[in-house]
Structure 1
Amino acid sequence: MPDLLLELFSEEIPARMQAKAAEDLKALVTGGLVEAGLTYEGAKAFATPRRLALTVHGLTARSPDLAEERKGPRVGSPEKALEGFLKGAGLGSIAEARIVSDPKKGDFYVADIKKPGRPAEAIIAELVPSVVRGFPWPKSMRWGAGSLRWVRPLHTILCTFGPETEEPEIVDFEVEGIRSGDTTAGHRFLSPASFRVKRFEDYVTGLDKAKVVLDPARRRDIILHDARDLAFASGLELVEDDGLLAEVAGLVEWPVVLMGSFDEAFLAIPPEVIRATIRANQKCFVLRDPSTGGLANRFLLTANIAARDGGQVIVAGNERVIRARLSDAKFFYEQDLAASLESRLPKLEKITFHEKLGTQAQRVARIAALSREIAPLVGADPDLAERAANLAKADLVTGMVGEFPELQGLMGRYYAAAQGEDPAVAAAIEEHYKPQGPGDRTPTAPVSIAVALADKLDTLTGFWAIDEKPTGSKDPYALRRAALGVIRIVLENGLRVGLISLFLRRAGFTNAMAADLLAFFHDRLKVQLREQGARHDLVDAVLAEQAAGRSAPATDDLVLVVRRVEALGALLATEDGASLLAGYRRAANILKAEEKKDGVSYDALAIDHALLETAGLPEERRLVDVLGDATGRAEAQLAAEDFAGAMRALADLRPAIDAFFAAVLVNAEDPAIRRNRLAMLAGIRAACHLVADFSRISG
């Protein structure tokens, strides 16, 4: 079957756009081919700084013939209706239509429409120009006199199609004066001459000879292995950086890794500053000295050219720029150290956090007060927690954080340590932002925990109070991340805190706001637990039962919610648990039907023990005895927060429930006996609801 090769050759495509552009090209072209009736075996897209390429192999040579039967108006319909039918069906006159009789609706016109298949070349020639013209670049430009918008000026389009056993043909089309062909160009400097391409295999080979590595994954591998080897040869270790590696691989077509150095005096700067400076400004990797664990005064750069002098000029140029950048960083660092963090606090009064939530200074005051209140709950010193919160945002107005915003918190820790603050305060200044994502660590030191919780809770309650909540996929203030941060801090540290009481510490925060924010936390908790493998229905069952007020603790104690979910999952994984769930469902279904029929709830109906002794069956008496014992033990275990024990107590109901349903007719003819038996079923339902709403459990 034929293969398609497409290349769009342009000026440099920004590295951050390349991966998505390649996937977009693949999706748009293959989607259009399939929509046109073609099928294919596989497709793969590639990107380099100057080209997007796509290969589609096993593509059918022609779309199939199609036959369609289109029903039209009734015989005798007005002329306008007939004209519309003829136009839509592509018929010249009504005589070309068939008349079909329907016994109920009468006679109708029917058009038999035949659509012959089309050659793949014709489909491609129509599809590719439309893809190019409507390509979804996040940013694009228009140049010259044409109307085409592309990320950078588009130079050539290569498009060939044909089977492996034959000479492929150029799919002929034109886009804004650029006619498709079968030639491409190699590396801008190392092999700028154009060369002819037949199919994908010789395209890759030709590019390789022309000093272009087409596959981004291969470019990344080359850079990574060469960097490791160069570092090892110098007795150093590469500080690996996946994000930087991906970016650098998008900047070069022929990667050549080179090593440079800088003055050792710059190592007095915090290592994170050195790394940020070299990474942000020169896209270079830093190296570690394994003998000391600290950074070495070396760096690795990735050139896009194999220079005749071995890269000496390139290295020297990068060294000059890095020397200047590190000099600036050293200046900022020393200037920042000259003033205490506390002396910088007045500047926060001039920075607006949010027009409805006040300045950063006002926010710091709220966080400091809340940190002091949270501190005893998490085992932290209130004075240290308040001090850390007061200084936590001060580094936002330092020169270093102004230059590198990603170092906020970290620089505050360095400055706090340098000015003699308590180590717990310095650590909390850095860690109060954490965790910032699923891969980030959570604070574990008590002072850090108190400030981190206060910071996130102030953000959440603040935006809830002004009704700026996340909607759909929009979350401009990262409130979902803040809530997940609180959840992770609470769960990973096993903190027993009631969220509602913390919410209500904010002035003007109502009970309704608190309930709504807690529901938001529950949604985030479900996401967190699902990612950890917990069943969403068990989370719903526990939350629903606790929210109903029939069992304690409240749902704002996240640690106990999770422990209940875990205990419920462990119970249902056993045979007794599965049978208990089946018995509950049978009891609940009977109660639902009878309560609807009788118009009453049997939850409040007490079991008549006297009637049970005179007219009850042994299986009934046994169920009531076991039900009373199991319920009492479960309630005691729940009070002691032994959820696994409570689940085991309920599991003991299983044999008695099975025997009851096997021997007893619930809807007895005697109304008193029937009511008594329905009360027993209500007892089963109530016992299970002590731990979770079993009606929400699936499976």
Structure 2
Amino acid sequence: MTATMQPLLIELGTEELPVKALPGLAQALFDGVIDGLVKRGIALDRGEAKPLYSPRRLAVLLPGVASEQPEQQSEVLGPYLNIALDANGEPTKALQGFAQKAGVEWTQLAKTSDNKGERFVHRAVKPGARTAGLLPEILREAIAAMPIPKPMRWGDHDYGFARPVHWLVLLLGKNVVEGGIFGTRSDRMSRGHRFHHDKAVWIGQPGEYVEALRGAKVLVDPDERRARIVREVEQAAKAGGGVARIDAGNLEQVNCLVEWPSAVACDFEDEFLAVPQEALIATMEDNQKFFPVLDGDGKLTHRFIGVANIESKNVAEVRKGYERVIRPRFSDAKFFFVEDMKQGLVAMNTGLASVTYQAKLGTVADKVARVATLAEAIAGEVGVDPKLARRAAELSKADLQSRLVNEFPELQGIAGRYYAAVAGESIEVANAIDEAYMPRFSGDAVAPSKLGQVLAIAERFDVLAGGFAAGLKPTGNKDPFALRRNALGLARTLIEGRLDLNVLSFIVSALNEVTLAVAESDLTKKVRAADHARAQGVEVPIGQMVIGTAHPEYVKEIYEFITERLRGYYADQSVPPQQFESVAALRPASLLDFDHRLKAIGEFAKLPEAEALAAANKRIRNILKKVEGTIPSTVDASLLTPGAEQDLADAVAQAITDTDEALKQRDYVTVLGRLARLRPQVDAFFDGVMVNVDDMAVRNNRLALLQRLADRLGSVAAIEHLST
């Protein structure tokens, strides 16, 4: 009998759920219910189903779920025949016990065979369970698996959830499924908007759910709710002559705060526009969840849009409330900005000497000095004025001492840009102080100016070197120094900024600087310990400070740590992993060169000869790996035999001549394209020439030829990785 398909609705009604956790909770409930159905073999039609949610509810709505499981077939293996039957063919106690446990006569058991012989087996078929009977258990499992780090308890109950649960809708088709969770019993009665429709909402069947709630002033579809917010906010901003700034993160939070959004246009005093607009935007978005309004040039205006969870009959009062709550934060920002201006950037910079950056790495002022040295050196390598790079680096952390950044940490660099400009620094230096933090987050652009890129690179070299030298390498999910993010930011800036820099060299430079800082820190601790011991009447020798250089193992680790971040970066660009490995195997010192090689290997892989040459190179590498002793550095032409061997030697010599200049110019596409033409000679050589012959002189000469070929084939990438 074929099970009928019926729509399923589960709605868990709660008090207002945590804003940032809401989408994840909804997704987890949705996935848990789907997994529970699939695990039990219950057929379902997902259609376009997705998690539904609002601040007061989590819902799963599926267009089709089978009314029952399919027949459940079971197979239990019993004893082998030599154990199950005695010499007369009668059942032993082992077989009788097995049959009794299965609830059948032993003669009703079937037989099966495996590699050990023939054995008895009990096979049974029983009807599938009704889906309605399984749903309560599925729901409990799904809820138990939800990521709720701090469950809330209510009343005198011993159970907990993200927020107190007040109702449960559980419908399969038109019927209520009997069940309960968190002290509630299942029903078909949902709830409407807390203010617009504060009463129960009858749900006749799952397909009516979304429309029934819409009629009760609840938009339970997050996409529909989000679209309404955007539409209303944009219309309100346009009516005021501006353009709404709709940040994706802010929009998502507002979407999780309202069930029936209504935009309210508001204003603030023009005097606050003297404050850096980033500070005002930050407090509007982060603290109040408002949408700033910009002019046509992207400058902040005195307008903003709030989104209410109600269509108020007195919008003017709602507006006053929004304007009232924003004013104190704006006043604080203005006060901090004015006071910072009085103090000045130079005075702020002086204060960094009293701020610890990291216990083993000294103060922030020490860090600034290290970054300035690196920035000056990097600038000289990439055609940027070293004096400007040093000046920008010297001022790059001054705003950490400002009142504005203390109140709005996200303005690091941005505040510094404003204060540097006011202090009379060049626009290049001021912008670089801000750009040094770019990319600030995943998907953010790298610094747009070369000076900003230099500062961003120097900063990240210091962070990585300091993190490794101070023993702060990431472990598992823990990365307190954000070394992974800094490594990717460094790599992206070099590649996307088209900066050809020897990464290994600057890792060494950065490590030398931080190694000195760690040594000084260790000496300081020894001095303090000796002073303390001396105060107790004990003399303790301090010894001398040992100034080391960059540990070679750290250099290798940091380089590999950076290139490991590139693995994901290129995977996002659909670069096959074997192509990435082929370049990574060569460890190019320049990441821009790494990028050039990777692009070239991508073009090479498209050629019809690529697979065969990659396989040949793999074969060559395997042959060369097994060689004991030294392979001659040159090929002796007098030992070459006419035919395939001579042809390959001539072809390799010509290919090397043809690609020398292109290799110097890093024209890797040309190099690989020329090498692809060696395929006929390589194939002919392996078809007709034996390498490991008894004559050692001939053998070594052939090995020298293969080594020469392998060196040139591997000059751009380890193409053997392309061989499947």
Which residue in the other structure is 1:521 paired with? 562
Confirm whether residue 536 of structure 1 aligns to residue 577 of structure 2.
Answer: yes
CA contact (8 A) 2:487 2:562 kept: yes
Matched AA of 2:443? G
Q: Alignment partner of 1:146: what SS?
A: coil
CA contact (8 A) 1:133 1:148 kept: no
Map 1:261-272 onto structure 2 (within 5 A): 261-272=267-278
CA contact (8 A) 2:614 2:721 kept: no
Confirm whether residue 610 of structure 1 aligns to residue 638 of structure 2.
Answer: yes
User: Which of 492, 498, 501 is the matching residue for 2:496?
Assistant: 492
Confirm whether residue 213 of structure 1 aligns to residue 238 of structure 2.
Answer: no
Q: Distance in 2 between matches of 1:640 and 1:324?
A: 61
Confirm whether residue 582 of structure 1 aligns to residue 612 of structure 2.
Answer: yes
Change in CA separation of 1:242 and 1:542 when aligned onto 2, cut-off 3 Å: closer
CA deviation after TM superposition for structure 1 residue 538, in Å: 2.6
Which residue in the other structure is 1:296 paired with? 301
Q: Distance in 1 between matches of 2:634 and 2:287?
A: 77
Confirm whether residue 147 of structure 1 aligns to residue 155 of structure 2.
Answer: no
Change in CA separation of 1:501 and 1:676 when aligned onto 2, cut-off 3 Å: closer
Which residue in the other structure is 1:277 paired with? 283
CA contact (8 A) 1:348 1:397 kept: yes
Q: Alignment partner of 1:468: what SS?
A: coil
CA contact (8 A) 2:165 2:182 kept: no
Matched AA of 2:304? F
Change in CA separation of 1:113 and 1:342 when aligned onto 2, cut-off 3 Å: farther
Q: Alignment partner of 1:362: what SS?
A: helix
Confirm whether residue 562 of structure 1 aligns to residue 591 of structure 2.
Answer: no
Matched AA of 1:67? Q
Matched AA of 2:52? F
CA deviation after TM superposition for structure 1 residue 602, in Å: 8.7
Matched AA of 2:427? P
Q: Distance in 2 between matches of 1:587 and 1:240?
A: 54
Q: Distance in 2 between matches of 1:103 and 1:380?
A: 75
Q: Distance in 1 between matches of 2:693 and 2:151?
A: 80
Q: Alignment partner of 1:504: what SS?
A: helix
Matched AA of 1:142? R
User: Which of 114, 122, 127 is the matching residue for 2:138?
Assistant: 127
Q: Distance in 2 between matches of 1:588 and 1:173?
A: 63
Q: Distance in 2 between matches of 1:54 and 1:375?
A: 57
Change in CA separation of 1:104 and 1:326 when aligned onto 2, cut-off 3 Å: closer
Map 1:359-370 onto structure 2 (within 5 A): 359-370=363-374
Q: TM-score normalized by structure 2?
A: 0.85
Confirm whether residue 632 of structure 1 aligns to residue 657 of structure 2.
Answer: yes
Which residue in the other structure is 1:244 paired with? 250
Q: Alignment partner of 1:59: what SS?
A: strand
Structure 1 unaligned residues grouped into runs of 5+: 163-167, 548-554
Map 1:7-18 onto structure 2 (within 5 A): 7-18=11-22
Change in CA separation of 1:94 and 1:343 when aligned onto 2, cut-off 3 Å: farther
CA deviation after TM superposition for structure 1 residue 371, in Å: 2.1
CA deviation after TM superposition for structure 1 residue 635, in Å: 3.3
CA contact (8 A) 1:370 1:454 kept: yes
Which residue in the other structure is 1:161 paired with? 172
Q: TM-score normalized by structure 1?
A: 0.88
CA deviation after TM superposition for structure 1 residue 302, in Å: 0.7
Change in CA separation of 1:356 and 1:675 when aligned onto 2, cut-off 3 Å: closer
Which stretch of the first structure deviates more once superposed, 469-478 or 9-18?
Answer: 469-478
What percentage of aligned pairs have identical amino acids? 35
Map 1:382-393 onto structure 2 (within 5 A): 382-393=386-397
CA deviation after TM superposition for structure 1 residue 478, in Å: 1.9
CA deviation after TM superposition for structure 1 residue 240, in Å: 2.2
CA deviation after TM superposition for structure 1 residue 329, in Å: 1.4
Map 1:182-197 onto structure 2 (within 5 A): 182-197=188-203
Which residue in the other structure is 2:55 paired with? 49
CA RMSD of aligned residues (A): 3.1
Deviations 1:563-589 (A, max 9, x none): 2222333234334x43xx514634753
Change in CA separation of 1:133 and 1:527 when aligned onto 2, cut-off 3 Å: closer
CA deviation after TM superposition for structure 1 residue 431, in Å: 1.1
Change in CA separation of 1:281 and 1:691 when aligned onto 2, cut-off 3 Å: closer
User: Which of 643, 649, 655 is the matching residue for 2:668?
Assistant: 643
CA contact (8 A) 1:65 1:117 kept: yes
CA deviation after TM superposition for structure 1 residue 181, in Å: 0.7
Q: Distance in 2 between matches of 1:148 and 1:135?
A: 14
Q: Distance in 2 between matches of 1:31 and 1:336?
A: 56
Which stretch of the first structure deviates more once superposed, 89-98 or 448-457?
Answer: 89-98
Corresponding pairs, count: 671
Change in CA separation of 1:374 and 1:41 when aligned onto 2, cut-off 3 Å: same
Change in CA separation of 1:176 and 1:587 when aligned onto 2, cut-off 3 Å: closer
Deviations 1:514-536 (A, max 9, x none): 01111122222233233334333
CA deviation after TM superposition for structure 1 residue 343, in Å: 1.3
Q: Distance in 2 between matches of 1:351 and 1:424?
A: 27
Change in CA separation of 1:240 and 1:606 when aligned onto 2, cut-off 3 Å: same
Matched AA of 2:486? A
User: Which of 231, 239, 245 is the matching residue for 2:237?
Assistant: 231
Which residue in the other structure is 1:552 paired with? none
User: Which of 304, 308, 312 is the matching residue for 2:313?
Assistant: 308
Confirm whether residue 468 of structure 1 aligns to residue 509 of structure 2.
Answer: no
Change in CA separation of 1:96 and 1:273 when aligned onto 2, cut-off 3 Å: farther
Q: Distance in 1 between matches of 2:115 and 2:495?
A: 68
Deviations 1:609-632 (A, max 9, x none): 2344xx523x44333222212123
CA deviation after TM superposition for structure 1 residue 125, in Å: 2.4
Matched AA of 1:610? S
Matched AA of 1:563? H
Which stretch of the first structure deviates more once superposed, 93-102 or 32-41?
Answer: 93-102
Change in CA separation of 1:41 and 1:269 when aligned onto 2, cut-off 3 Å: same
Matched AA of 1:24? A
Q: Distance in 2 between matches of 1:609 and 1:289?
A: 76
Q: Alignment partner of 2:258: what SS?
A: coil
Which stretch of the first structure deviates more once superposed, 639-648 or 269-278?
Answer: 639-648
CA deviation after TM superposition for structure 1 residue 175, in Å: 2.2
CA contact (8 A) 2:631 2:700 kept: no
CA deviation after TM superposition for structure 1 residue 446, in Å: 3.6
Q: Distance in 1 between matches of 2:639 and 2:383?
A: 56
CA contact (8 A) 1:86 1:94 kept: no
Confirm whether residue 34 of structure 1 aligns to residue 38 of structure 2.
Answer: yes
CA contact (8 A) 1:584 1:684 kept: no
Confirm whether residue 503 of structure 1 aligns to residue 507 of structure 2.
Answer: yes
Q: Alignment partner of 2:343: what SS?
A: coil
CA contact (8 A) 1:10 1:156 kept: yes
CA contact (8 A) 1:12 1:50 kept: yes
User: Which of 428, 443, 452 is the matching residue for 1:424?
Assistant: 428
Change in CA separation of 1:170 and 1:456 when aligned onto 2, cut-off 3 Å: same
Which residue in the other structure is 1:478 paired with? 482
CA deviation after TM superposition for structure 1 residue 318, in Å: 0.8
Deviations 1:27-62 (A, max 9, x none): 111111111221101143201010111112221111
Which residue in the other structure is 2:208 paired with? 202
Matched AA of 1:381? D
Change in CA separation of 1:284 and 1:419 when aligned onto 2, cut-off 3 Å: same
Which stretch of the first structure deviates more once superposed, 254-263 or 437-446?
Answer: 437-446
Change in CA separation of 1:44 and 1:685 when aligned onto 2, cut-off 3 Å: same
